[in-house]
Structure formats: C-alpha cells, structure tokens
Amino acid sequence: MTELNIIQLGLGKVGQELLRQVAALWEQDRATHLNYIGLADSSGLLLDTNGFYLDDLHDALAVKTANGRLDQAAIGDIDGPIVTNQLISLLRAARIKATIVDLTADTANLPLLAAARAAGHDLVFANKAPLAVDYASYCAIAPTLPSEDAPTGWGRVRHEATVGAGLPVISTLENVLASGDQIKRIEASVSGTLGYICAALDQGLSFSAALRRAHDLGYTEPDPRDDLNGIDAARKALILARRMGLPMELSQVGVDSLIPAGLESTSLDEFWAKLPQVDETYRVKLDAAQKRGNVLRHVALIEDERASVGLREVAADSPLGRLRGSDSIFIWHTVRYSNSPLIVQGPGAGPQVTAAGVLADILGLG
Ligand SMILES: NC(=O)c1ccc[n+]([C@@H]2O[C@H](COP(=O)([O-])OP(=O)(O)OC[C@H]3O[C@@H](n4cnc5c(N)ncnc54)[C@H](OP(=O)(O)O)[C@@H]3O)[C@@H](O)[C@H]2O)c1
C-alpha cells in the first residue's frame, strides 16, 4: 500500500474521533501506511515531516478533549505551530505528497486547499462549507465528474462524509454515474434533526414538543433555528446536485425555512417561549395529510436540473413515510433503477460514523 502523509485540519468532535479510530488501528498494527505529519486546530498547524508517533496522537487527543489549544500543547518534538499558508512551500521543500483532511466547519482554509490540490496533494472533506461556495471557487477543489479528466498533476478529492456521514451516498452516486446509468430524481431526508421532528409529529407530539425533545437529545444545534432554516440540508442537496454535473449555486436551491415567521432573530428564550404558537398550524397540516394517507417529511429533491429542500407530504407507506428517528435516507430513481429505486438508509450524522466515513475515504486513497 502507498504511504499516505496525513495532515488533519480540525480537532473537534469528528477530528478527535478520527484520531481515536486511527490510534485504535495502529495499536493493532493496522493502517500503518497512514503517516500523520500534521495536525491543526484554530490555533495553528503542528507539522512533523517525519510523522507522529502513536503517543503524539494520544497527547493531541488529551489536549483537545480537555478543550485545550494545540499551540499550548507539548506534542512530539515540534517547536510550535506554523500558519497554514506556509504549508505548501514546506511540503514542496520536503518533497512530500500529502493527504489534507478538512474537518473544520468553515471556508477559512479554502485558498490553501485549492492551492494544495493544484500542487498535487489529495483532499478529503467532512466539511461541507468549501463544497457549497460559489461554483467557480468550488471547481478548484471539486472532485472530477466521470465525464471529465482532472487537470494534469491535480490531487484527488474525496468527500463521502459531507452528505450522510458514513453512509455510502457519494460512492453510490459515483458508481451509478460511472456505470453509465442516468439519474432521473433523488429524494432524500438529509437532516437527522428535521427527520426526527417529522417522525415525532406522526407519534402525536406537537411541533414545539418534538423540537424540544430533539434539542434535549442533542440532535439540534445549540440554537435550533440553525437546523430549522434548512441551510445545512440545502448545502447537502447542492453537493449532490453538483456531483450530478449541475453547475448550481446555493442560492438556486429552493429552501423552505421552518423557522416560524417573526421568530427568526428573537432571543433564544423568546423563540422557545413563542414556538407553541405554530403547533396548531402543524397539527392541521398533518391531519389533512393523514386523511390522504400521507405524512409530513423534510425532503431534499433533485429533479429536472433543480434542487429544493422543504416540508413535503409523502405517502405514509413509502420509504420516506416509513422513516423513523434521526435516520437519513437517500432514494435514487434512475433509468436502471426505475421500477424499484436504489435506497441507502441509516444514521446520517454523529462523530463516530462521520469519522468512519472520512477514514474509509483516506484508506481508499492508499
Ligand atoms: N458532527 C457530525 O455529526 C458531522 C457529520 C457530518 C459532517 N460534519 C462536518 O464535519 C466538520 C467537523 O465537525 P465537528 O462536529 O467536529 O466540528 P467542531 O467540533 O466545531 O470542530 C471544528 C474544528 O475545526 C477547528 N478549526 C477551526 N478553524 C480552523 C482553521 N482555520 N484551521 C484548522 N482548524 C480549524 C476547530 O479548532 P478549535 O478546536 O481550536 O476550536 C475545531 O477543532 C464540520 O464541517 C461538520 O459540518 C459533522
């Protein structure tokens, strides 16, 4: 197996879990072709072109699980952090081809990643943000379509965990397209949080009680409006649409926000206090749907070169209608899967499955 020189940007929930999974493999003398040469958090990047030892990964984990900063940590023999934009020249000088793994949550490293890719380094993402920027910037870090050749010398790109965490969503899409099939429509429930709320409505919970329960279970963002606004779901729909070859912008994805009107920018306390005002509206909507044999689901739809996310009525006995809990589901209607669609379903979020998706991507590059 080819040795892979890993530089991991981000040591939050997913980043720490990835280190745990790699450390566990190393302890069994497996995945020893993974050579960790860089670790970064928001305080900077620690680089050791000889590679970290298992103890170094444990040291980094100890610092980050205690909410510490890498620049204050004693890890290996490294002098201190470098700024990330020095990275490419350092790698060039050391004649190293790297695999840069983006587990951060914004686009701050986008210029670095684009330059690294053009210089031949491979990229692996769990971070959706850089894949949902304007189309021209996206192209610099985008994986190539089956119909395209990558520009000579550019690195490879993997991003399985950006949509559906560890579920084989991107790989299924790639296989369908690479084998010459044509996708007619993708329907999906891509938000575990919004999926959970919809399924809880079926069980008789009010909208406000369902959201409160999802919040108490840790399924929502600290401010649940960051889930209800549908932006995260729209980013996932955009990533899928772009991988189907549509040169689409995020602003072209139709998004129905579920934030009640007037509560978009109130304090969080006022939001929770006033939320029950919408319960009756949802009850009436669901009653009407159920009379037609339907239920409400939060659906991402890609069809006819358009993408949208929002609340839809679907048949109660359909795969989407039967969805329970916080699972995600992806349904491909293609020319070959026409009578019965191709379906991938399971947990679509959580650090363990997300890190596992990232690790599978990394190992696939070896
Ligand atoms: N959690 C999930 O279930 C899940 C599922 C699918 C995809 N994802 C995606 O995976 C990514 C990571 O998620 P997470 O839950 O681990 O997020 P997180 O806990 O917020 O961690 C983000 C990490 O990025 C670091 N960081 C911020 N700016 C940086 C920079 N400029 N350079 C290097 N590191 C930087 C942060 O540093 P500090 O530690 O110093 O703050 C932190 O360690 C996100 O994009 C998320 O959307 C997550």
pLDDT in tens, 273-330: 999 999 999 999 999 999 999 999 999 999 999 999 999 999 999 999 999 998 999 9
**pLDDT, tens digit, for every residue of 334-357?**
999 999 999 999 999 899 999 999
Residue 314 lies in a domain: yes
- Give the N- to C-terminal CA distance of the chain in Å, as an integer: 6
pTM, two decimal places: 0.95
334 and 215 assigned to the same domain = yes
CA-only gyration radius of the chain, Å? 22
Residue tagged active-site, from 64, 184, 236, 285: 236
Q: Are residues 251 and 329 in the same domain?
A: yes
Residues 123 and 28 grouped into a single domain? yes
Nearest CA to 92 among 124, 49, 139, 125? 49
Q: Answer yes or no: do 218 and 264 share one domain.
A: yes
Domain residue limits at 255: 178-347
Within this chain, do residues 95 and 158 fall inside the same structural domain, yes or no?
Answer: yes
Question: Two tokens at 229?
Answer: 């606004």
Token pair listed for 343: 């379906």
**Same domain as 129, residue 19:** yes
Ligand 1 environment, Cβ below 6 A? 9-15, 40-43, 69, 103-105, 108-109, 126-128, 161, 165, 349-351, 354
Residues 128 and 187 in one domain: no
Which of the 8 DSSP states describes residue 83? -
CATH code of the domain containing 51: 3.40.50.720
322 and 271 fall within a common domain: yes
Residues 231, 107 within the same domain: no
Choose one of 42, 82, 196, 327 to mutate for the ligand 1 pocket test, by most ligand atoms within 8 angstroms of C-beta: 42
Of 253, 239, 262, which is closest to residue 330 (Cα–Cα)?
A: 239
In a domain, 171, yes or no: no
Question: Does the residue 327 lie in any domain?
Answer: yes
Nearest CA to ligand 1 atom 13: 14
Q: Are residues 293 and 359 in the same domain?
A: no
Model confidence pLDDT, tens digit, residues 190-234 = 999 999 999 999 999 999 999 999 999 888 998 999 999 999 999
What's the chain's average pLDDT?
A: 94
* Residue-level pLDDT at 77: 57
Give the residue carrying structure tokens 């978009």.
Answer: 264
What local confidence, expressed as pLDDT, does residue 76 receive?
63
**What backbone phi and psi angles, to 5 degrees, belong to 282?**
-65, -35
pLDDT on residue 235: 97
What percentage of the chain carries pLDDT values higher than 70?
97
Q: What angle do CA 235, 240, 241 make, to 5 degrees?
A: 95
Q: Indicate which CATH number applies to the domain containing 296.
A: 3.30.360.10
- Please tell me whether residues 155 and 192 are part of one structural domain: no
Cα four-point dihedral sign 22, 25, 116, 92: positive
- Cβ contacts of 307 within 8 Å, gap of 6 or more: 234, 237, 238, 240, 241, 246, 248, 252, 253, 254, 300, 301
Residue 274 Cα to ligand 1 midpoint, Å, equals 31
pLDDT grade, residue 73 (50/70/90)?
confident
Rounded distance, CA 271 to CA 159, Å?
35
Task: Based on the fold, state whether residues 339 and 196 are members of the same structural domain.
Answer: yes
Is 173 a member of any domain? Answer: no
Q: Tell me: pLDDT of 86 over 90.
A: no
Quote the pLDDT of residue 207: 97
